[in-house]
Structure 1
Amino acid sequence: MSTPEEVAPDADAVTRFDDLGISGPVLAAVRDLGYETPSPIQLATIPTLLGGRDVVGMAQTGTGKTAAFALPILERLDIAQKTPQALVLAPTRELALQVSEAFESYSARMKGVHLLPVYGGQGYGQQLSALRRGVHVVVGTPGRIMDHLAKGTLDLSELKYLVLDEADEMLKMGFAEDVEQILAQTPEDKQVALFSATMPAPIRRLAQQYLRDPEEIAIASKTTTNTNITQRYLVVSYAQKIDALTRILEVEIFDGMIVFVRTRNETETVAEKLRARGYSAAAISGDVTQVQRERTVSQLKAGKLDILVATDVAARGLDVERITHVVNFDIPTDTESYVHRIGRTGRAGRTGDAISFITPRERYLLKHIEKATRQTPTQMQLPSTEDVNVTRLARFDDAITAALEETARIEAFRDIVAHYVRNHNVPEGDVAAALAVVAQGETPLLLNPDDDPLAKAVEADGRPRRDAKERAERGPRTERRGRGDYAPYRIEVGRRHRVEPRQIVGALANEGGLGRDDFGAITIRPDFSIVELPVNLDAVVLDKLQGTRISGRLIEIKPDRGRAPRREDRGSSYDRPRRGDDRPGSDKPRKPRHKR
């Protein structure tokens, strides 16, 4: 590889995208999005990729690297070719979805471009139909891409461009072998772009083996954010986000708020759920007309609307003094977007609050945010039922106090209540309580502190994971966690299907959002396998796993209640690999678990 070209983000020269070789509908889409000048990574990378050379980009998340590789790909796309021309590999479904959305935005002015996100948790039917119709760009996680390759449903024989995004994260998550197998099944003359925040030895080996004389570009990030903004985060699963947001809205004192989501479809979904829960909320995305956008923003400024649910594109340039809070319902993997989002509050010397929802699999983004903003977000706790009840009682008291000030109406109702008391011989206090019941409706005023499944679920998601050093100090897993913490599940793939433990871990982790600590022993038998998963596995997660395929076969996962096999019936048996033994690039073989 060539010597890294260090690029600082405060370069003096002003360059436009058309100066880099971007033109036509791609350039028009970039201008529609409000981009004026390229970021340093874009400035250095786009001409290199347009020139046909491989690239290794060392840049933190948030430097604008998605556009750095997406724009050159779209600029040279052959619409007539129906087999995939570009493949982007990303470590998580969240990043794959975000990259796919970016491609969609950049290709908005192009006709006939077909993009497909491929990741766990999404039905195969939709993906297979799209692949049969013809797809130009595929963005996916390594596990699901491997699955399509094994089934023969993804043809990479005419691939021209391959991007490895967040390569270091992919290797940390154990995808090293999958990535190499995918690379091995692509044409030799393709162009490759590899992006990584760090450059450990395994990444360098990968670049040296699969890239041809790449230009290495290093970006020094200097992104900072307003110190008037208090940054907090809550670790919560996707399924719990709307309930967690509702509880936060109950106890937070806010004036105006922007809730950021990833896709335009989700803006209306979240806004509708908030309206159903009694909040004044509206949605804006890139699809709304300028007239509608201006009307919605005017309502927000005037106080007729309290919550705006928006995408990054729709909120670009938004400056409303009332915004006291920004909530990242979907955390962006791009820290530049994160800084722009939370910058909608705390403007002109005012203070502001930014709250981010982070799923357990997105914890690694906290380090990127901390490095980019020079601030450490504080982990917050989900407001308790007691917090909510105190707030509700205070509002109830305020409502009574306000009503008492309407003396004329109070006097009229006083006579009505007195009439009821005389005719029914009921104390006035009971009548007042009955009227409160009528006003409240079927929904209880107060939450039950002894029945709070949301708090238990969020607490489990937010429990910090031990780092490698602490795990090593605590010894092997069998010493840390009892066998009773796991339950056996049977899946219908085994040794004769050439399945390996890493494939099982990768597939189940991707489809169900599981972490490595969620896996116990894996026993591979001739026709099926037994996987130990947490005893308290959520039914929603198990339901997601039902559609999982490994090596092209539906796994049909179910609790295992069969007899213990005789010694001679047992197949290969493995313990869940410990981090220290399963690090990317390690040549140390996994040891079988010996049973007595």
Structure 2
Amino acid sequence: MSEVMTGQSFADLALPAVVLKQLEKMSFTQPTPIQLQAIPALLDGKNVLGEAQTGTGKTAAFGLPGLAAIDTKERSTQMLVVAPTRELAIQVAEAVTEFAQQMRGLEVATVYGGSAFGPQIKALRGGAQVVVGTPGRLLDLLKKGVLNLSSLRLAVLDEADEMLNMGFIEDIETIMAAVPNTAQRALFSATMPPAIRKLAKTFLVNDAGEQPLNIQIAAIEKAKATIRQRAWLVRGLNKMQALTRLLETLEYQRVLIFVRTRSDTMDVTEQLQASGFKASPLSGDLNQAQREQTVAQLRSGRIEILVATDVVARGLDVPEITHVVNYDLPGDSESYVHRIGRTGRAGRSGEAILFYRNKEKHLLRTYERLTNGTIEFFEVPNAKELSAHRQQKLQQQLVDTVAGGEFAELNAIIAKMQADTGLSAEQIAAALLAQQNSQRPLIVADDPAPRKFEERADRRGKRDARDGRDSRDGREKRNSRDRRDANVEFDTYKIKVGREHGARPQDIVGAIANEGDIDSRFIGQIQLFDGHSLVELPKGMPTNVLRVLQRARVRQQQMDMELASGEQITRRPRPPAGERPAFKGAPRRPERSPRGAAQGERRSRRPQ
């Protein structure tokens, strides 16, 4: 939610008591300017045209009055929100779900491309009253007759200008044409280009010719001049390796790490805790009391690192946060400004760190423009630098210990050890260092050389924002450069995911490409069995990548990838050149966010 408040209360806006109770539980007391204008208008049955950036609190502006209009006893789609990217769709759905926690019987369905139709169709047929989705998948579901809008009460277009920029305008027109005339409409956009104004004129004017309420909220500069922004290109190391190295070498007081989904908060936290960091998740799975307790522990220092999503970090004000890490880039630019505003509080200095991929580099310019700042590029400490850091840190600890301690009894023990064993003091010290080294190596193994397929993928350069994806049906086109590289030799790996888990080849490709940062051209044939599957990957896969893939999940089932012992993929007759698919079934790669969200930042599983 925006930090700019109006001085008025949500209780003044005639919202239902059940909604107000939840807002109080979430510590939402004062509406932002756009909420103050949009909520009463929508409650009064008016259509709304809002010109406001994401950080101004638009989700609550349409979500709260939308929930007020829903009859939870009626199992049909009553509120529809169209968002440009899966990331924003997930964020909106999570926010609406949280607003509706006190509303028994209310269900929210999130639908987007790149994920299986089955669970999404099941949610719609189950009677979800709120549907949040991306244009391509919504259009698919409309064509299949699964998405029924006959009972719709409110249709919302969020980030309309972004959908225009991504080529979704025809999809939006088709979707809005299916909205019944009796339904309210709301359109929100950061800018109002002619095409969006035309869309508003077509769909926001009601049957009586009444014009929509036009709300304009000026952009508010929220970036702090004291926040240093730095960016690291994800390459060589995976993101978790880079994160642990940064946390080990940075001088920080408290750190807030932003990830995309609730499940990601748990995954990242578990890995940080396993590496010895005092980390905790902050997700929508926690109730208000648990959240307050977690934030209190952060302030007190019992935990030093918080892993959170955009939704639950809304309004978080902890002056001790010195660093914000964008482990996953946000689904929209304004959320980035909101994120980095969690540090540099109360006039203090802070640092914002971004993990980005080549395909996302253009977003950095947008962030610089929004924050009126400069983003510096940096490299994560390499193995040699990390070794030097650990050795220097241990050396300083030993010096401090010697300066502040009495060692008469310990010196006597050392003397006795020397007499009993014949070892020198240097040998005893070296043995103690060896024990220390076994727990946390003082000489870190050399970093793996950049993978050949990674270098090739980087050289492919910038793509069209939609990455060759047909926005009309959500499908991606595979051309000759996307096909399996004929010069790569493959090993066969076995994964513990198969047909009985509902896995499809594209699910496996998505998990391997996303988690291992492997271009799909370097994923060979895939063969499904009931309880497992076989997949071809390039020979000489780095150990650190294989470790990541062992933990990766397909259909919520851990892959446990390992080299196949004697089992090989059964070859089909090879079709003529030019007709040959990239791998069995020619699955498409997972849908990528047209706004450039990184391939490695999406999950093959459906967010919980």
Asked if the contact 1:84/1:134 (under 8 Å) is kept, the reply is: yes
8 Å CA contact 1:89, 1:163 repeated in 2: yes
Per the alignment, residue 322 of structure 2 pairs with 324
2:245 pairs with 232, 244, 247, which one?
A: 247
- 1:225 maps to amino acid: A
Distance 1:69 1:359 in 2: 33
Alpha-carbon distance in 2 for matches of 1:193, 1:310: 29
Query: Which residue matches 1:259?
Result: 257
2:349 is aligned to: 351
Aligned partners of 1:331 and 1:181: how far apart in 2? 30
Cα distance change of structure 1 residues 130 and 318 upon mapping to structure 2, 3 Å threshold: closer
Per the alignment, residue 276 of structure 1 pairs with 274
Equivalent position of 1:127 in the other structure = 120
Does the C-alpha gap of structure 1 residues 139 and 243 become closer, same or farther in structure 2, counting only changes over 3 Å?
A: farther
Q: How big is the shift at 1:409? A: 5.6
Structure 1's 120 and 34: CA in aligned 2 closer, same or farther, altered over 3 A?
same
In structure 1, what is the equivalent of residue 69 of structure 2? Answer: 76
Question: Counterpart of 2:71 in 1: which secondary structure?
Answer: coil
In structure 2, C-alpha distance between the alignment counterparts of 1:195 and 1:384, rounded to whole Å = 45
Does residue 411 (structure 1) correspond to residue 408 (structure 2)? The answer is: no
Q: Secondary structure at the match of 1:393?
A: helix
Residue pair 2:384, 2:446 contacting (<8 A) in 1 also? yes
The one-letter code matched in structure 1 to 2:254 is G
Across the two proteins, how many residue pairs are aligned to each other?
Answer: 502
Counterpart residue number, 1:86: 79
Structure 2, unmatched stretches of 5+, are: 466-478, 487-508, 522-537, 556-569, 580-593, 595-608
Deviates more, 1:281-290 or 1:33-42: 281-290
Q: Report matched runs for 1:172-191 at 5 Å.
A: 172-191=165-184
For residues 366 and 433 of structure 1, do their structure 2 counterparts lie closer, same or farther at Cα, with a shift above 3 Å needed? same
Kindly tell me: are residues 332 and 23 of structure 1, through their superposed partners in 2, closer, same or farther at Cα, counting changes over 3 Å? farther
**Residues 103 and 365 (structure 1), Cα distance of their counterparts in 2 relative to 1, 3 Å cut:** farther
* 1:441 alignment partner, SS class: helix
Among 361, 366, 383, the alignment partner of 1:385 is 383
Aligned to 2:45, which of 44, 52, 60? 52
Q: Deviations over 1:100-157 (max 9, x none)?
A: 0110121122121100111245444432332232100111122322333344433333
SS of structure 2 residue aligned to 1:383 = coil
Q: Which amino acid aligns with 1:181?
A: T
Secondary structure class of the residue paired with 2:347:
coil
Greater Cα offset, 268-277 or 187-196? 187-196
* Separation (CA, whole Å) in 2 of partners of 1:200 and 1:145: 24
Over the matched positions of the two proteins, sequence identity in percent amounts to 42
Tell me which amino acid in the other structure corresponds to 2:436: A
Which of 401, 417, 435 is equivalent to 2:432?
A: 435
Q: Offset at 1:221?
A: 0.8
State the secondary structure of the residue aligned to 1:326. strand
Matched residue type, 1:40: P
Where does 1:414-425 land on structure 2 (aligned, <5 Å)? 414-415=414-415, 417-419=417-419, 422=422
- Match 2:54 to one of 48, 58, 61: 61
- In structure 2, the residue matched to 1:498 is none
Residues 1:361 and 1:123: Cα distance change in structure 2 (over 3 Å):
farther
CA deviations on 1:22-79 (whole Å, 9 max, x unpaired) are: 2322233233333333222223322333333333322222121111211221111122
Counterpart for residue 130 of structure 2: 137
Shift of 1:277: 0.6
Q: Equivalents in 1 of 2:458, 2:250: separation in Å?
A: 20
**1:160 aligned residue:** 153
**Which residue of the other structure, out of 447, 454, 466, is the alignment partner of 2:444?**
447
Task: State the 1:379 CA deviation.
Answer: 4.0
Give, in whole Å, the separation in 1 of the partners of 2:390 and 2:268.
23
Q: Is the 8 A contact 2:231 2:376 kept in 1?
A: yes
Change (3 A) 1:35 1:451: same
Over 3 Å counting, the alpha-carbon distance change for 1:225 and 1:450 in structure 2 is closer
Aligned CA distance change for structure 1 residues 564 and 314 (closer, same or farther; 3 Å) = closer
Shift of 1:249: 0.6
Q: TM-score when scaled to structure 1? A: 0.69
Aligned residue identity for 2:272: L
Residue in structure 2 matched with residue 118 of structure 1 by the alignment: 111
> 1:396, 1:206 → 2: CA distance?
64
Is the CA contact (8 Å cut-off) linking 2:154 and 2:184 kept in structure 1? yes
| 8 A contact 1:360–1:461 mirrored in 2 | no
Q: Is the 8 A contact 2:282 2:291 kept in 1?
A: yes
Q: Which amino acid aligns with 1:418?
A: Q
User: Residue 355 of structure 1: SS of its match in structure 2?
Assistant: strand
Task: Name the counterpart of 2:221.
Answer: 223
User: Any conservation in 2 of the 1:262–1:332 contact (CA below 8 Å)?
Assistant: yes
Once residues 233 and 380 of structure 1 are traced to their aligned partners in structure 2, the CA distance between those partners, rounded to angstroms, is: 6
- The 3 A distance-change label for structure 1 pair 453 and 117 is farther
Residue number in structure 2 paired with 1:591: none
Report Cα offsets for 1:244-279 as digits up to 9, x if no partner. 321211221112223344555544443222111111
CA shift, 1:240, in A, is 4.2
With the length of structure 2 as denominator, give the TM-score of the two structures: 0.68
Amino acid at match of 1:108: Q
Aligned residues of 1:274 and 1:281 also touching (Cα < 8 A): yes
Look up the SS of the partner of 2:55 in the other structure.
coil
How far 1:14 sits from its partner (Å)? 4.5
* Alpha-carbon distance between aligned partners in 1 of 2:458 and 2:363, rounded to the nearest angstrom: 15
Whole-angstrom distance in 2 between the partners of 1:354 and 1:436 = 35
Deviations 1:143-202 (A, max 9, x none): 322333344433333333222212222233333343333334443443322222223343
Contact (CA 8 Å) 1:301, 1:320: kept in 2 or not? yes
SS in 2 for 1:348: helix
Q: Does 1:109 align with 2:121?
A: no
- 1: CA distance, partners of 2:572 / 2:149: 38
Q: Residue by residue, what CA displacement relative to the aligned partner does 1:272-293 show, whole Å, maximum 9, x if unpaired?
A: 2211111112334465566655
Is the 1:167–1:196 contact (alpha carbons within 8 Å) kept by the matching residues of 2?
yes
Output the CA distance in 2 between the equivalents of 1:451 and 1:388: 14
Amino acid at match of 2:442: L
Instruction: State whether residues 262 and 283 of structure 2, in contact with CA within 8 Å, keep that contact through their aligned partners in structure 1.
Output: yes
What's the RMSD between the two structures over aligned residues?
Answer: 4.8
Structure 2 counterpart of 1:23: 16
Partner-residue secondary structure (3-state), 1:309 = strand
Partner of 1:564: 576
Distance in 1 between the 2:225 and 2:167 partners?
Answer: 37
Measure how far apart 1:227 and its partner are. Answer: 1.6
Q: 1:362 to 1:208 in 2, by over 3 A?
A: farther
What corresponds to 2:205 in structure 1? 212
CA drift of 1:427 comes to 6.6
CA distance in 1, matches of 2:68, 2:167: 33
Q: Distance in 1 between matches of 2:234 and 2:68?
A: 39
Letter in 1 for 2:323: H
Look up the equivalent residue of 1:253 and give its one-letter code: E
The alpha-carbon distance between structure 1 residues 559 and 165, as it changes in their structure 2 partners (threshold 3 A), is farther
In 2 relative to 1, CA 358–106 (structure 1 residues): closer, same or farther, beyond 3 Å? farther
Q: Deviations over 1:474-507 (max 9, x none)?
A: xxxxxxxx97785489xxxxxxxxxxxxxxxxxx
Provide closer, same or farther for how the CA distance between residues 368 and 32 of structure 1 changes in structure 2, counting only shifts above 3 A: farther
Contact 2:55 2:338 in 1 (8 A): no
CA contact (8 A) 1:64 1:334 kept: no
1:436 maps to amino acid: L
Partner of 1:195: 188
Q: Taking structure 1 as reference, are residues 14 and 362 closer, same or farther at Cα in structure 2, changes over 3 Å only?
A: farther
Distance in 2 separating the partners of 1:68 and 1:411:
70
Mapped to 1, the partners of 2:169 and 2:510 lie a distance apart of 15
8 Å CA contact retained: 1:60, 1:368: no
2-structure distance, mates of 1:104, 1:138: 11
SS of residue in 1 equivalent to 2:54: coil
